[in-house]
Structure 1
Amino acid sequence: MKEFRDDIRRRAEGFGRDPDEIKVFFVILPLIADTIGHAQEMSEAWNARGGTNFEISMSHVEATQEIDRSQFDLDQQLPTGVSTNGHQSTLENTKGAWGDRTIREAASGGRTSSVPLIGMAESVADEMEAIMAEVGGDSFLIHNQSLSRTYTASIIDDLAPALKHQLLRDSQRDMG
């Protein structure tokens, strides 16, 4: 992660840009639970499903690329002339990664991965802080592992307050 951010900053400087104006956000997939054991069970269950959850994969693809794939035959390749008003680079990367596979095959096999952030909210917040201290990145983008209300609530109700508490703690420490 650090090498990636440093490379982006070098490239920006090479193009005459102020590297501090280029923000780098790392995609993470935190799994938050009330106990470490439960979080590990959730992670194992998620990994056991592999890339086979077609509906979740397709929802992510459609959300980021703003393309309604119901207009396509899912057992055919993605048509070559497809364009988007959404994440254009993501669509181009998708086209390259999917290659000759059908939409169904490709979407069933796609997974986003990140540095493992699995545990209770406070420990995950501490891990996130340690990563930023080491890497020097600007922040994180949380990529949800599922579209469930439970997962979203674990981020909003548990992780966000832990991060806020951490920020307040660090601010007080900096003030002396």
Structure 2
Amino acid sequence: MMKVALVMGSISDWPVVKDTTDMLTELQIDYDKKIISAHRMPQELQDFAQSAKDERYSVIIAAAGGAAHLPGMLAANTAIPVIGIPVLTKALNGVDSLLSIVQMPAGVPVATVAVGKAGAKNAAILAAEMIAISDTQTYDRLLAFRAKQSKEAIESNEQLYQ
């Protein structure tokens, strides 16, 4: 069974991450959600990341704001793909989060999506795409999602002329 670990730096990230869980549910991807602070729970972070493969996670999605070290520290402790969601911050509008996640050193990649809710949805879709490489049912669900998305866009265009 393929599943995703969804990790937040704090409960304040939940309003953004909720969009990730909604999309994972729509795509029928199993997930577990956890709060692990990179700065306040370093041992728990290391233990979780190092056991992620044994726990049967295929992808880790990590949301973090501000210094946003969570995705990078998870990636440093596992070879499972990590997707970072930069959370919008009041201080710098999420640019701080984005730069903290995207500027990883060579050898420790973190796939990074857009800041905020669009990124939260895209993280789920990207995780599903990674899983779909070896799971035809997930691949088929992704194709159906894309077809639905296209149909909705076409229908919204038709509303302009009503």
Give the TM bin, normalised by the shorter chain: 0.3 to 0.5
Looking at secondary structure, tell me which structure has more strand per residue.
2
Looking at secondary structure, tell me which structure has more helix per residue.
1
TM-score by length of 2: 0.32
Specify the structure having the higher radius of gyration (Cα).
1
TM-score by length of 1: 0.30
